[in-house]
Amino acid sequence: MKRAFRYRFYPSEAQAVELSRTFGCVRKVYNLALQARTEAWAQSGERIGYAATSTLLTTWKRTEELAFLCEVSSVPLQQSLRHLQTGFTNFFAKRARYPRFKSRKKSRSSAEYTRSAFRWRDGRLTLAKMAEPLDIRWSRPLPDEATPSTVTVSRDSAGRWFVSLLCEDPGVTPLPARDSAVGIDVGLDHLLVLSTGEKIGNPRHERRDRTALARAQRALCRKQKGSSNRAKARIKVARVHARITDRRTDHLHKITTRLVRDTQTLVIEDLAVSNLARNHRLARAINDAGWRQFRQQLEYKARWYGRDVIVVNRWFPSSKLCSVCGTLAAAMPLHLRVWTCGCGTTHDRDVNAARNILAAGLAVTVCGTGVRPQRNTPGGQSVTKQKPLRCEPQESLLREGMEVKLGTPDRSG
């Protein structure tokens, strides 16, 4: 399993100049290639691939206007063309939007080096066009006898330099199987609520630094545009944002690692976070919670360690459905955190939702894709939004709540 190890490093003045020049050339080549491919399609309907843009790169280097491209390593420039090719491949496969031009102010500053453009010797990394190795702060060791296959150097908006080393990690192996499953409901009062009843608090990292962020932003607004003082003030704002992001990422890594290690099957909701963030009253809190990042970490760690992640349809009424009798409540406003069902069971809204998410997710593994739990309306009629397919294991999951037993999934229906 290949894994990227990211470290911070502190370049010398000469190295910083060389890397900044490389970032600019990478961005320039990417934009030129994107423009050439777009114009070729608009004018003659011709598709230009990586090979054609690589030939164009050689032509650009020979011109007087773009002769500065010869001053940096050619490998990051070729890699930028490969990244553009990947972007078009994803676009034609309908996995992404049409590639966009890179901006000097907003785009990520990075350059990718392959083995022919760096030297790795005795734990010291030296990039092409540089005489001295990088001053890397090894916050964690690389795997034994690991040799990087790709090196990516980047600089964030706060002016911090990072190097990412892609190498084989023999430590990423499937964990021993467990007979356990958990449903996860995300929220704002509590970041996560598990079907076991455990509630993980929401640290609200942005709220903790909101005063410092507002002070730095006010100072930035007072500076004249284009001045060096404004550039310094912008970096101060970026550092506050970076501190918030780092704390949020670290917290989510600790949570997802624990969940993946302790649980075999994890069931979550398929939330449209971007749509939920359109609520202007909750957008700031939703973005601060990091729900999308939580799901991304959970999914790739589950692939690493042999765990299962089941995603439940976003329209599944997990909060309004009684996890004991299956009755569907008519309404469930957000301010109602505890409610009592007609069967006499008093539910914590979030714990009940997590249990319903678990039951629905496991029912899919037992009865097949597309099966939803049958539920009873207050009038006593059985209702299902899909074809009325009865599934005894599925109904038992809803009645018993957390008392479930995992076995070999029967997909016969």
Here the tokens at position 15 are: 């190295």
Distance, in Å, from the CA atom of 407 to the CA atom of 53, rounded to the nearest integer, reads 53
Q: What's the length of the chain?
A: 413
b/e 46-65 (16+ beta carbons within 10 angstroms → b) = eebebebbeebbeebbeeee
Helix (H, G, I), strand (E, B) or coil at 98: coil
Handedness of CA 270, 274, 279, 285 (dihedral sign): positive
Here the tokens at position 259 are: 């969940």
Could you tell me which residues are beta bridge partners of residue 166?
A: 4, 150
132 labelled catalytic:
no
Q: Where are the alpha helices (DSSP H) in 176-282?
A: 205-208, 210-222, 228-262, 273-276
Distance, in Å, from the CA atom of 219 to the CA atom of 235, rounded to the nearest integer, reads 11
Given 18, 206, 269, 288, which residue is catalytic?
269
Given 18, 112, 206, 350, which residue is catalytic?
350
Given 112, 185, 206, 288, which residue is catalytic?
185
Residues 6+ apart with CB under 8 A from 252: 290, 293, 294, 297
189 labelled catalytic:
no
350 labelled catalytic:
yes
Nearest to 15 by CA among 77, 80, 73, 82: 73
Residues 6+ apart with CB under 8 A from 322: 328, 329, 341, 343, 345, 347, 352
Hey, which residues are catalytic here? 185, 269, 350
